[in-house]
């Protein structure tokens, strides 16, 4: 699989972000409601451009980010991807953000399985994990439905408070065999 290839789920199209997406990326990462649980402060327009530029060629890199778009309207839903890939420890952190108009509609439950599959198959990791704010109950609920369990941090945490939830490959494979 080539990481830059677009793909789809039932309701969404996934593709790499381009400069055509600058307005929605800026909106996403500068909005105070959206940034409430982010570990980074709100961005300015220049920083939004840098986000798109950073993720443009994922092949062979330790990070990846897809834009998620509504299949029927092509509206921007959010982003999903991975970073902090540690091939020696065979683990990678995944991250996601859903534009607030799409909260609590099951988009993370739909978006994470293909990303998890990419991480286990392409990166050959034994664990995927997320770091999230302990008050981000919707996010925690979404990932625990997929089999993530709370654990000690799998990397040094530079922003507090954060909790770590991990999904071992064996748990993921067991869920697929049902």
Q: Three-state SS string across 34-101, please?
A: HHCCCCCCCCCHHHHHHHHHHCCCCCCCCCEEEEEEECCCCCEEEEEEEEEEECCCCEEEEEEEECHH
Question: Is the distance from CB of 118 to CB of 105 less than 8 angstroms?
Answer: no
- The CA-atom distances, in angstroms, between 35 and each of 4, 68, 84 are 27, 18, 20
* Domains detected in the chain: 7-176 (3.40.630.30)
The percentage of the chain sitting over the pLDDT mark of 70, rounded to a whole number, equals 97
Tens of pLDDT, residue by residue over 86-122, are 999 999 999 999 999 999 999 999 999 999 999 999 9
Position 174 scores a pLDDT of 84
Between these two residues, 131 and 35, which has the higher pLDDT value? 131
Compute the average pLDDT of residues 123-139. Answer: 94
Tens of pLDDT, residue by residue over 20-54, are 999 999 999 999 888 887 767 789 999 999 999 99
């Amino acid at each position: 699989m080539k990481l830059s290839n677009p793909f789809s789920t039932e309701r969404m199209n996934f593709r790499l972000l381009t400069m055509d997406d600058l307005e929605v990326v800026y909106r996403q990462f500068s909005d105070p409601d959206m940034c409430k649980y982010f570990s980074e402060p709100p961005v300015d327009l220049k920083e939004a451009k840098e986000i798109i530029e950073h993720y443009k060629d994922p092949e062979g890199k330790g990070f990846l980010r897809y834009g998620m778009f509504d299949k029927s309207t092509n509206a921007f839903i959010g982003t999903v991807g991975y970073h902090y890939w540690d091939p020696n420890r065979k683990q990678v952190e995944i991250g996601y953000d859903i534009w607030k108009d799409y909260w609590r509609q099951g988009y993370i439950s739909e978006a994470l399985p293909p990303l998890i599959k990419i991480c286990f198959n392409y990166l050959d990791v034994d664990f995927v994990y997320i770091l999230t704010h302990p008050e981000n109950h919707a996010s925690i609920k979404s990932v625990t439905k997929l089999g993530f369990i709370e654990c000690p941090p799998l990397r040094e945490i530079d922003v507090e408070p954060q909790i770590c939830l991990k999904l071992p490959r064996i748990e993921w494979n067991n869920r697929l065999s049902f």
